Amino acid sequence: MMGEFLLVCACGGLGAVARFVLNTSIQRWWNRVFPLSTLVINITAAFFAGIAASAYFYQTVGYFTYLLFVAGFLGGFSTFSTAINEMVSLAKSNRIVMALGYFAATVIIPFLMIVLGWWIGAMGR
């Protein structure tokens, strides 16, 4: 039980490191105000979460694998707080339209990606 817990935590740490690397790499060539890096990170995380959820739903993988991957790695990789704070800071700097667009993109695109991931995971049933 304790080992499981620590393994999930370590996977979360790995997810956070992966997010740091991807975030820094995207910000190196993307020098506009729109927070593309967080959006890309959340889209990627949602896609893999969709695959994992459908794989667990159709019993392709066991519960512990699912837990390790979704609660651990993808939980550390995807971020809600950064996205929300980027919306707030965009709104505070009077970029209301961009903030609303970012909000819509953060809700809609990850949802479509999770549906796509679910569909892909269901194909291998």
Q: Which residues does the annotation place in the binding site for Na(+)?
A: 75, 78
Distances (CA, A) of 59 to 48, 53, 117, 118, 120: 16, 10, 16, 13, 14
Closer residue to another protein in complex, CB, 119/124: 119
Task: Return residues touching another protein (CB under 8 A).
Answer: 5, 8-17, 19-21, 23-25, 33, 35, 42, 45-46, 48-50, 52-53, 57, 70-72, 74-90, 92-93, 103, 106-107, 110-111, 114-115, 118
Closer residue to another protein in complex, CB, 70/124: 70
Asked whether 114 and 49 are in contact (CB, 8 A), the reply is: yes
Q: What is the dihedral of CA 51, 82, 106, 63, to 10 degrees?
A: 20
- Around Cβ 6, how many Cβ atoms within 10 Å? 10
Q: Which of 37, 34, 125, 49 is nearest to 87 (CA)?
A: 34
Closer residue to another protein in complex, CB, 14/61: 14
CB of 60 to another protein, least distance (A): 16
Closer residue to another protein in complex, CB, 111/124: 111
CB of 57 to another protein, least distance (A): 8
